[in-house]
Structure 1
Amino acid sequence: MLSLADITVIAPHFKRRLSGVTSTVIQLIPQQRQMGRGIVTLGPGLPAGLPKMHWRQLPGLWRRPSGAPVRVWHARRNNEMLFGILLRDVLRMPLKLLFTSAAQRHHTGYTRWLISRMDAVVATSARSGSFLKVPHTVIRHGIDTTLFQPAAGPSDTIAATGLPGRHLVGCFGRVRHQKGTDLFVRAMIELLPRHPDWTAVISGRVTAEHQGFADGLKADIAAAGLYSRIVFLGEVDDIKPWYRRLSLYVAPSRNEGFGLTPLEAMASGTPVVASDAGAYAEMIVEDETGKVVPAGNYERLRDAIGDCMDNPERTANWGKTSRTHVLSSFGLEREASALEAIYDGLLAKG
């Protein structure tokens, strides 16, 4: 069992299902460990390889770590903030509480109260920070550019998929109204008949709650006679090769927290058309790595996608620029280093 003596940061993860927060934790913690930070997770839903503490070790948090007067409890959800408050204020454990906020909406009174009890707050974008009523630091998420890399061989082409055409356009993420999957499908139904070299793929989980929504999209595709050119992949075990196979990625969300998929696409050498939900507008350089359109505006989304499909050579050049842009501005080590400064400040206060 992992000793807590050298652990100075605990990153709770109180959700079993995959989410954007899960993806962040999975990528970030190994980078933080590599930088020498004693950090562990606590909770379900994470790969076995991540360093974890067990629930039975919680009493060990009354003992201070070696070389530091406190530990940092780094929460990313309301229930994780509440649990941290319980540990610090009720059980009197030596903890400093840090919250990372990605939400781009006005917080409820309950959430504002939780945030007010934090010792430090991080916003994942300037836009999410604009909804906070407390001092905060903006630290944008990064991406592991060793995991997401450009196409390198035959397996990274549309030919390897057995799908028709010369170009793939994709939309990945949970299939639901919030994610704008219907906007993507509608655009494909309108655009693909004019672009016979293109095929569309959709990947992501369909929950029982949204099965009717997904079934409706498939019915629309069938009615348009495009069932072989707008393909639902379902959940795939490894999405990385699919990013590499794309000529264009589309992120049409109506609402988003931060949203990592455009970064994953650009790191893979794929340009992006995205709404301005989440932090998308802060990631994409207009007409250099892709295009940004107003969230929920179907006509602007369709026209931006169509423009990229009309100009495949220019779009391919944007893909090369995209990789360079992510390397310079969104490397995972940048996020980890910025968090290190926050951790060090909290640990020094004791």
Structure 2
Amino acid sequence: MPKIASRQIDVIAPNFKRRLSGVTSTIIRLVPIQARDIAIAATGPALPDDLPQIPLSALLTMSRRGPSGWRVWHARRNVEMLAGLALRRLLGKRLKLLFTSASQRQHSGYTKWLIAQMDDVIATSARTAAYLERPAHVVHHGIDCGSFHPAADKPALRAELGLPVTGPLIGCFGRIRAQKGTDVFVDAMIDICRTQPDVTGLVMGGTTDSHKAFLAGLKNRVAEAGLDGRILFLPEVPVWETARFYQVLDLYVAPQRWEGFGLTPIEAMACAVPVVATRVGAFEELIVEGETGRLVAADDLPALTAAVADLLVDPDALPRMAPAARTHVEAQFRIETEAARLNAIYRRLLGSEAPA
């Protein structure tokens, strides 16, 4: 898609980070859907060519007024909040400043000051909102239920991906590091695989140089337990391939010690895969206990192991939860719903009076 003239844009979604991150993925997923209903464009140094966008240089030269008078500047990082302030105060751009927070920790004095300058604030979960010292809209992330859906033929897809065709397959995806609790999943699977010979565990994700020793240690644990063929480690796959790996699972585990929001449980449930997750991030707001999965305390290996084992030994649990998980995501966590809620907030800002 060619770059869009800034004079046509009512909403700007900055993305000032070059490396792929959760925030970048959110912008890439959302902006094309939002653009169906509002004049929005992203801006940043390394965005896909097909994303509606304006060049970074256009921020300096764009007209002070947008087509609706004000424009909305939707920041998701400190540096983007600061840039919005500079554009408004130093260059006189008529911008309404909006910030989305996903973090669940006490903010620094600097971040608190930046947030206080915003015209409105969004939190990705109720738990995140509790850390903000001002009212916030709670807007959960959503996913594309057209891309993430149950497999038409799970055994055939497993065979195509080179995975065991029979027996329960339990997955844990995402960055491999201690924060994500990958070691808790591996230890739980070692225990479960010893007692249930038909179960296979699947770890899939990338790791950075600083966490390569952590990954090597996990592989060593599995090898020492004699479970090389039962607990598999697969490299990270492109985003457009991820859904196929959820579709082959019978159960997904999200063992994080800390999380901002956490999309993986929604992605799994959209594929009719129940989830066992820790009580971090937004997981308590995503999973219906006993209906779409189970929730346990963070860093509690015995509780996580027991929750997984209980679901495996109950012949009715996973077949009952699987369709309920899909229905739950379709009703509550569609990306179209997230986009519509954000656009409604933009419209209120565009139609409101000038900032104080």
Q: Same fold (TM over 0.5)?
A: yes
- Greater shift, 50-59 or 204-213, is seen at 50-59
Instruction: Give ranges in structure 1 of 5+ residues lacking alignment.
Output: none
Question: In 1, Cα distance between the equivalents of 2:79 and 2:258?
Answer: 22
Cα shift readout 1:29-60 (whole Å, capped 9, x = no counterpart): 121112x2111111144332211111221233
Q: Which residue of 9, 12, 15 corresponds with 2:14? A: 12
Q: Is the 8 A contact 1:61 1:94 kept in 2?
A: no
Instruction: Give ranges in structure 2 of 5+ residues lacking alignment.
Output: none
Cα shift readout 1:213-249 (whole Å, capped 9, x = no counterpart): 1111111111011111111111112111000000001
2:287 matched residue in structure 1: 284
- Greater shift, 253-262 or 81-90, is seen at 81-90
- Greater shift, 302-311 or 152-161, is seen at 152-161
SS in 2 for 1:148: coil
SS in 2 for 1:55: coil
2:272 matched residue in structure 1: 269
Alignment size in residue pairs: 348
TM-score (ref. length: structure 2): 0.94
**What is the 5 A alignment of 1:169-208?**
169-208=170-209
- Greater shift, 11-20 or 235-244, is seen at 11-20
Q: Is the 8 A contact 1:195 1:309 kept in 2?
A: no
TM-score (ref. length: structure 1): 0.95
Question: C-alpha displacement at 1:154, in angstroms?
Answer: 5.2
Question: In 1, Cα distance between the equivalents of 2:4 and 2:57?
Answer: 12
Q: Which residue of 18, 24, 32 corresponds with 1:22? A: 24
**What is the 5 A alignment of 1:1-350?**
1-34=3-36, 36-66=37-67, 68-153=68-153, 157-164=157-164, 165-237=166-238, 238-349=241-352, 350=354
SS in 1 for 2:7: coil
Aligned residue type for 2:249: L
Question: In 2, Cα distance between the equivalents of 1:169 and 1:134?
Answer: 41
SS in 2 for 1:62: coil
SS in 1 for 2:62: helix
Q: Is the 8 A contact 2:4 2:41 kept in 1?
A: no
Aligned residue type for 2:8: D
Question: In 2, Cα distance between the equivalents of 1:181 and 1:44?
Answer: 32
Cα-Cα RMSD: 1.5
Question: In 2, Cα distance between the equivalents of 1:155 and 1:48?
Answer: 37
Question: C-alpha displacement at 1:288, in angstroms?
Answer: 0.6
| Aligned residues with identical type, % of pairs | 50
Cα shift readout 1:73-110 (whole Å, capped 9, x = no counterpart): 10111111111111112222111110001111111111
Cα shift readout 1:111-167 (whole Å, capped 9, x = no counterpart): 111111111000111100000001211111111111111111357643333333422
